[in-house]
Amino acid sequence: MKQLIINADDFGLSSAANQAIIKAWREGILTSTSLMVGGATFDEAVKLAQENSGLQVGLHLTLVQGRSVLTHAEIPGLVDAGGNFDNNPVRAGIRYFFLKELRTQLRREIEAQLLRFKESGLPLSHIDGHLNIHMQPVVFAIVSELMARHGITSFRLTRERLADNLKVARQRLLGKALDAFIFGQLARHCQPKLDQQQVYYTDEVKGLLNSGKMTEGYLLEALENIREGVTEVYFHPGCLPCAELRKWMPDYDHQGELAALTSPRVKEKLGRLGITLRNYRGEDKSYV
């Protein structure tokens, strides 16, 4: 059996992202989303999620290119005076790995994000990370401890088959090869701990290598390479114009990704290939 979890990241980043995610849920194939609890439109996102109770919501852990939940005074090594994390994910990841004095601050902020989510009253289904920061080794060590404490049983284990992606889109060959290698290694590091804690993860995650360009044309071809088991595919849909989306992701085709999620052609192909939709709870979604 071939099953897909279709997730939208960055819920709560902006009203334009929120609107697109709800449209993709109501009219398209979306089955879940991941909430940025430090996002400017967090409260709006929570209200929308409450109005659409079938939409499953997880935590989009944010430790780079975003705002913190705690104040600068509480985590001075992680954010600037305005509460903003480093915009450079590589630099941030290196700092988090080598500066041991930051680990206590990281733990405080990660737990604060978990608590803010739980205080919203929404059921927390899964955890992933903005720019997949949740798999950085120091961050993962903290997350794995807190998952056990807070009863979180699903995790995005990001790794994607390079060969399958290149059958569809051969652009950015070197960058894709590097991303596939790095996250393959990170997944091998995370997997034993997840297995030990009996935390669920899918057989593969698609969206890493074509991030921002998960368009209808790409998706129609990529569906041909879906393997047996459960695959998560993640998107970044948005309604333009939106200054926040353009600020952080100027090269992303947000409207193209929304169009892919609501495409009748995609729905038809899912049916023809016998692929079912589900969420992390295991609940199926009809797309007819």
The answer, yes or no, to whether residue 91 has pLDDT greater than 90, is: yes
Rounded to an integer, what is the distance from CA 101 to the centroid of its chain? 28
Residue 271 has pLDDT above 80, yes or no: yes
State pLDDT tens for residues 38-87. 999 999 999 999 999 999 999 999 999 999 999 999 999 999 999 999 99
Instruction: Name which of 243, 237, 200 is nearest 28 in CA terms.
Output: 237
Model-level pTM? 0.96
Strand blocks (E) in the chain: 2-11, 32-35, 56-61, 124-129, 204-206, 229-235, 275-278, 284-285
Single-letter amino acid, residue 281: R
Whether domain 2-285 has CATH 2.60.40.420: the reply is no
Instruction: Tell me the pLDDT band of 287, cut-offs 50, 70 and 90.
Output: confident
pLDDT of residue 288 exceeding 90: no
Rounded Cα distance between 256 and 239, Å, is 10
| Mean pLDDT of all residues in 4-17 | 98
Using the predicted structure, report yes or no on whether residue 13 has a pLDDT greater than 80.
yes
Percent of the chain with pLDDT over 90: 98
**Confidence (pLDDT) at 104:** 98
